[in-house]
Amino acid sequence: MTKVFNHEQFGGIQVVTLAGKVMFGATQVARTLGYSNPQKAIRDHCKSDGCTNRSVIDPLGRSQMVKFITEGNVYRLIARSKLPSAEKFECWIFEEVLPSIRKNGMYATDSLLDDPDLLLKTVTKLTEERRARLEAEKKAAFLQAETEAQAEIIEEQAGRLTYLDKILQSTDTMNVTQIAADYGLTARQLNEILKEERIQRRTGGQWVLCAKYHGKGYTKSYTHAFPIPTGGTKTVVNTRWTQSGRLLIHEVLVARGIEANVDRSLAA
């Protein structure tokens, strides 16, 4: 059975289903796409194995032979059309007509027009399907854009670790000279800052934590013994800062507006 699908801009297009394949009136498609010589356009652009002739009854009741073409040939004519409206025609055929035929087996046929209830149900169903499809496409496009944006951010930030990141990744202890150098300071300057912040105090030639910070794992002490010229040995206690201690120092320095060298270079 041949059906005529109507569009307010493109007019009517004959469609028939043969051996499970949906085929379109070739001359109507070519003329709608602006080809001045539809028959030549069909010969030049359509594959012969996607064309077939079929007898149809015209509005006057006469039997006429009409050439029908497959979806692939319709697309070939669209691709070579120079009309600006070709893209809109493509959307109508491939996004509305074909999906509706495959799902419902009908598209504005006489049986629909003769049954208002069926027409209303069909239109409602098609509207809901189209809305759902558009929402799904919109969501997919958003997710794709979001994924691409995240990938760009990850790629951009790869290798751009802040000093805080480096502290969190390290489990080694460091002495005050090493830590100070990371901020462009000397050991003496850093020790004085920590003294002003009442984090440490100097006792017997050695820096020790104040009571508030003592026993919280901020530092580790290592005792070293070495010989002296007069005989015997001398013992020296070296203090090294742990990961949590370095975090404490980092917070203090940042609060004072002192950035690590790494962070300054990243901001530059």
Question: Would you say residue 137 lies in a domain?
Answer: no
Count structural domains, the chain: 2
Pick from 244, 241, 266, 262: nearest CA to 190 = 241
Amino acid at 248: L
Q: Are 27 and 67 in contact (CB under 8 A)?
A: yes
Do 175 and 85 reside in the same domain of the chain?
no
Q: Would you say residue 110 lies in a domain?
A: yes
pLDDT in tens, 40-72: 999 999 999 999 998 887 667 788 899 999 989
pLDDT (tens digit per residue) in 226-251 = 788 887 787 777 889 998 999 999 99
Give the pTM: 0.39
Within-domain flag for 262: yes
CATH of the domain at 89: 3.10.260
- Portion of the chain with pLDDT greater than 70, in percent: 83
Q: Which position has the higher pLDDT, 194 or 266?
A: 194
How does DSSP classify residue 36? S
Rounded-to-integer distance, Cα 199 and Cα 54, Å: 95
Residues 8 and 109 in one domain: yes
Of 49-63, 126-140, 167-181, which gets the smallest average pLDDT?
Answer: 126-140
Range of the domain at 13: 3-114
Asked if pLDDT for residue 106 goes beyond 70, the answer is no
